[in-house]
Structure 1
Amino acid sequence: MLAGLLFAVQETNDRPERLTATLPFGGVTLLEYQARLLIEAGAAQIVILVARLTPELLGAVTRIGRRGVAVDAVRHVSEAAAKLHPLARLLVLADGLITTERVVGSLASEGGDALLVVPQADAGAVFERVGGGQAWAGVARLDPRRLTEAARLPRDYDAQSTLLRVAEQARAVHVLLPAEALAHGHGIERDAAALDRRGRAVLAAIVSDRRGWFDRQLVAPLARVTLPAMVERGWSGTATAAAGCVLGLTGLAAIALGWSTAGLSAAFIACLVLALGTTLSGLRDEPRIEQTQRVAGLTLPALAALFLGAAESGRAGNLTALAVAAALVTLAALAQRAGTERIRRWWWGSAPAVLLIVTLATAAHWPLSGMAVAAAYATATLAAAIERLRR
């Protein structure tokens, strides 16, 4: 069982009486964002060590509990130790930490005590120093017994620093933070303005961390420009879902009316909008809207291919194009199902990537050839995924 430990103790430097954990981040509070990272890493329980219960903090704790995990707010390390199962693996995130799912997931596996560290020369002022000329990067995997050991020390000690020192005394393994993580915004902040600036880099990195070439080369650059502005303006996931679905339905209607290139282009743009909306809804803790957009982003390319196949078969007077479209959809669906994020390679296809191939070929007046090439690409992806799974 994996459990998470968060801190809501430190106040911000530029907003007196405001806890850093309750500052806005990605449309929610920083504490909620950290909790989402823990949940996606597999945490079934989250304990939050608090200095005081403010209205903003109470609201954040309530919203975290709606995600289906057990949440407890405690005031002392001894209370946190009492809440945890003795056999649990404890994943700890520092107060004010901003990072990505990939960084947190790197310590979520089985193993003994481990601290994520950076060279002291690269560490910011708020990174706590540990041995060997290194500093703690804000993520740790600990045995719950470390909480019991920390609870034996005086209550006026800083809980986070105390826990870190106890882990060091237990000879926790040092795991070096990947160099690119710092460039993607990983850090600890105590200022609201600095948190906003660093958050922009992390928002873009959320999409950039995905392994497929389509997300890295097309969605990520678009996300760097649009996501921070959407979050700042309070753009909701529902509005993004509505825009994407309307644009997608318009594209399907255009294909049915014979405007294949325009319709496929509209459907492809709709897939980009839905991809951004899925990330935005995940940040805003809108699981239903997030799932709706994810399903729509996979269904729309399939419908566009089938509509194109039907239109081309109608013009040719035979069912060849429709048969090729049906084969393409089947192969792409199987490849999508088999190619999980854990085993995915950068060149593998996805539903929007396949739609891009068909759209470009149709614009060049080769719709049938485009569907055939896309089907071959989906076949290669499926074959590679099967081989990865066999290993």
Structure 2
Amino acid sequence: MLAGLIFATEDADDRVGVLAATLPFGGLTLIEFQARLLVAAGATHIILVVARMTPELLGAISRIGRRGVSVDAVRSAGEVLEKLHPLARVLVVADGVVTTSEVVQAIAAAPHDTLLVTDQMDSHYERVGANVAWAGLALLDCKRIAEVAALPRDYDFQSTLLRVAAQAAADQVRLDAHMAPGHTIERSTQALAARGNGTVAALVARPARWAERYLLSPLIRLILPPLMTRGVGTITVLAGGIAVALGAWLTIFIGHPAVGMALTYLAVGVTGVAAALAWVRDEGSVARIAEHLTPAIVAGAALLVGYGADRPAGLILATTLIIIAALLERVAGSAHARRLWASPVAYPLLMLPLLALGQPLFALGLAALYAVVTLAVAIEGFLEKP
């Protein structure tokens, strides 16, 4: 069992009376970002060590709890010990740590007590040796918390826990060159704002299927930071995607299927951005609506292409494509998707060249064939499982 222990006791460097952990960070607060990394690494219980409760911290705790983990706020090592499972491994995050999921998961996978260390001697880093400082992450056994709880309560919890771990000869993993650019300890409002949007955008999942992975995800990572910087609303972006989709459908209906399909792909991109923005902001219902809009937009475009082609062949092909694609999405939700599999994002791209050549039936037929082949491969994968 893995538990996360996040320290939120220090004030911001440039905002008196404001906890650094509650400073804005890429549309979230810093402590929410840290909790997301812990949950992604497998933590099922998050414990926050706080100096005081503030309205911002209470809101962050509520939002963290929506991610399906239990959350507790405590003030001392003894209270942490009361909340922890006796067999838990504890992933410790120092106050103000900004890092990446790769670094957190590497520490979480360590077999023994481990400290992440660095040669950098920043004022926020605590030394654990003559030329080595703690980089703010550690994986420790629950008994280290018990050892700190046995000491006088007026000792600084974070520093004392570090000393106890170091004295117990915890393994030291050095922060290497490729990890260092994304890792720091920061308590400045401006510095966190500068780092936050790009760092959070990098958390957007990299889907397995090629169209989403290589075309849609890079677009989302490019557009998310400026949207978050300007505070653009998720509903606004979603409404923009719907408006573009309606324009695409109208364009196809009046006899310009190639232009309409290009607009369809643009609409899919905008709704994908809206889904990612909603995910970042923990707007679950909006994220689900945006995710379901993508196949609906593509299905509507395919039906209109079929309606404008030779009837009834065009409508039959379009309906066949939609049914097979829906079955494939149902299967793909329960299977390990592969890189070359078809997807709602891929169909407009596949049809666009043939529509530009004035061949709507061939465009629909090719997309349907792609979906059929992918569905067959997915079913074979199920049959091969023991």
TM-score normalised by length of structure 2: 0.82
> 2:36 corresponds to which residue?
36
2-side partners of 1:374 and 1:179: how far apart? 45
1:20 and 2:13 correspond: no
1:11 and 2:11 correspond: yes
1-side partners of 2:194 and 2:376: how far apart? 40
Shift of 1:28: 2.6
Q: Is 2:88–2:142's contact at 8 Å kept on the other side of the alignment? A: yes
Shift of 1:280: 1.3
> 1:161 corresponds to which residue?
159
Q: Is 1:150–1:166's contact at 8 Å kept on the other side of the alignment? A: yes
In structure 1, which of residues 329, 344, 352 is the aligned counterpart of residue 345 of structure 2? Answer: 352
Question: Can you list the C-alpha shifts for 1:120-169, whole angstroms capped at 9, x where unaligned?
Answer: 26x75534455697654433333222211222234343322332333344
2-side partners of 1:306 and 1:110: how far apart? 52
Q: 1:62 to 1:124 in 2, by over 3 A?
A: same
Higher deviation after alignment, 270-279 or 148-157: 148-157
Q: 1:46 to 1:215 in 2, by over 3 A?
A: same
Shift of 1:245: 2.6
> 1:337 corresponds to which residue?
333
Question: SS of the counterpart of 2:43?
Answer: coil
> 2:65 corresponds to which residue?
65
Higher deviation after alignment, 379-388 or 234-243: 379-388
> 1:120 corresponds to which residue?
119
> 1:293 corresponds to which residue?
290
Q: Is 1:120–1:134's contact at 8 Å kept on the other side of the alignment? A: yes
Shift of 1:253: 4.2
1:383 and 2:380 correspond: no
Shift of 1:192: 1.0
Q: 1:303 to 1:386 in 2, by over 3 A?
A: farther
Q: 1:339 to 1:186 in 2, by over 3 A?
A: farther
Question: Can you list the C-alpha shifts for 1:199-258, whole angstroms capped at 9, x where unaligned?
Answer: 133133223755555455434543454322221222222222222233224423443444
Q: 1:105 to 1:251 in 2, by over 3 A?
A: farther
Q: 1:383 to 1:217 in 2, by over 3 A?
A: same
Shift of 1:370: 4.1
Question: SS of the counterpart of 2:345?
Answer: helix
Question: SS of the counterpart of 1:48?
Answer: strand
> 2:199 corresponds to which residue?
202
Structure 1 stretches of at least 4 aligned residues deviating more than 6 Å after TM superposition: none
2-side partners of 1:254 and 1:171: how far apart? 68
2-side partners of 1:177 and 1:382: how far apart? 45
Shift of 1:367: 3.9
> 1:189 corresponds to which residue?
186
Q: 1:82 to 1:325 in 2, by over 3 A?
A: same
2-side partners of 1:229 and 1:321: how far apart? 41
Q: 1:180 to 1:317 in 2, by over 3 A?
A: same
Query: What is the number of residues matched between the two proteins?
Result: 384
> 2:76 corresponds to which residue?
76
Q: Is 2:197–2:225's contact at 8 Å kept on the other side of the alignment? A: yes
> 1:148 corresponds to which residue?
146
In structure 2, which of residues 259, 263, 267 is the aligned counterpart of residue 262 of structure 1? Answer: 259
Shift of 1:330: 4.7
Q: 1:335 to 1:304 in 2, by over 3 A?
A: farther
Question: SS of the counterpart of 2:4?
Answer: strand
Higher deviation after alignment, 230-239 or 356-365: 356-365
2-side partners of 1:202 and 1:190: how far apart? 16
> 1:232 corresponds to which residue?
229
Q: 1:61 to 1:254 in 2, by over 3 A?
A: same
Q: Counterpart of 2:187 in structure 1: which amino acid?
A: R
2-side partners of 1:309 and 1:30: how far apart? 49
> 2:137 corresponds to which residue?
139
Higher deviation after alignment, 27-36 or 205-214: 205-214
1-side partners of 2:127 and 2:379: how far apart? 43
Q: Is 2:25–2:197's contact at 8 Å kept on the other side of the alignment? A: no
Shift of 1:9: 1.0
1:283 and 2:280 correspond: yes
Question: SS of the counterpart of 2:95?
Answer: coil
> 1:321 corresponds to which residue?
317
2-side partners of 1:289 and 1:375: how far apart? 30
TM-score normalised by length of structure 1: 0.81
Q: Is 2:114–2:140's contact at 8 Å kept on the other side of the alignment? A: yes
1-side partners of 2:340 and 2:253: how far apart? 31
Q: 1:300 to 1:53 in 2, by over 3 A?
A: same
Question: SS of the counterpart of 2:203?
Answer: helix
Q: 1:368 to 1:141 in 2, by over 3 A?
A: farther
Q: 1:172 to 1:327 in 2, by over 3 A?
A: farther
Shift of 1:321: 3.1
